[in-house]
A and B are shown apart, each in its own frame.
Chain A
Amino acid sequence: GDSVTQMEGPVTLSEEAFLTINCTYTATGYPSLFWYVQYPGEGLQLLLKATKADDKGSNKGFEATYRKETTSFHLEKGSVQVSDSAVYFCASRYSSASKIIFGSGTRLSIRP
């Protein structure tokens, strides 16, 4: 069945470091892909999304490109801030489905 695999955390970086969180998906077709972020004590919120191959989603300095050839949707940010400390979830949804398949989440901690 469809699944999403993301790198295990926790990931700890210093402020202004470059961030990559890897995510790969398996799907029978061409799903829409998402990154959600969960700040401490809050629910998940959509960070960015891409709906077809080669699309790039971006928001708040974060970017992810839908790579069909490698079935990947890696999250990147050029210079992280302490306020980026959160748990990040990669997710997919097949176009005709209603359920979103979430990865296990990656906890990110940024040191000042």
Chain B
Amino acid sequence: DAGVIQSPRHEVTEMGQEVTLRCKPISGHDYLFWYRQTMMRGLELLIYFNNNVPIDDSGMPEDRFSAKMPNASFSTLKIQPSEPRDSAVYFCASSFSSGGTQETQYFGPGTRLLVL
């Protein structure tokens, strides 16, 4: 299996620009998670989906952030407009549930975002 795939791996943009991060979960997984990692705040859960439906978006910083999952094999995290404080590594992770129990989360390699 290819694992969780994220693109781009690196993104450098200017303040005010729109940024779109992409994620392809592992085939057959029904949960998808978006995390943000910074030195100051550590690893933060932004939002997660179950069967393509957003379940908990309480970690999304503000209205500039939005996430979608149009189908089981694709999700996007969009920042519009971007700000320098959004600079971070963004991880996507996926997992599957079996018998009502969620199994291990598998993380992608991350997208390193720098907003100038």
Contact = CB atoms under 8 A, between A and B. Distances in A.
Does B bind A? yes
Interface size class of B (residues with CB under 8 A): 20 to 34
B110 interface: yes
Contacts of B31: 98
Interface residues of A, number: 16
Contacts, number: 39
Interface in B45-91: 45, 48, 50, 55-56, 91
26 contacts: A41-B109, A42-B109, A42-B110, A43-B91, A43-B93, A43-B108, A43-B110, A44-B43, A44-B91, A44-B107, A45-B106, A46-B104, A49-B104, A89-B43, A93-B102, A95-B101, A98-B31, A98-B48, A98-B50, A99-B45, A99-B56, A100-B45, A100-B105, A104-B42, A105-B42, A105-B43
B109 A43 contact: yes
B34 to A, nearest CB: 12
Interface string A85-112: 0000100010100111010110000000
Interface of A: 41-46, 49, 89, 93, 95, 98-100, 102, 104-105
Interface in B25-42: 31, 42
Contacts of B108: 43
Interface of B: 4, 31, 42-43, 45, 48, 50, 55-56, 91, 93, 101-102, 104-110
Contacts of A42: 109-110
Contacts of A98: 31, 48, 50, 55-56, 102
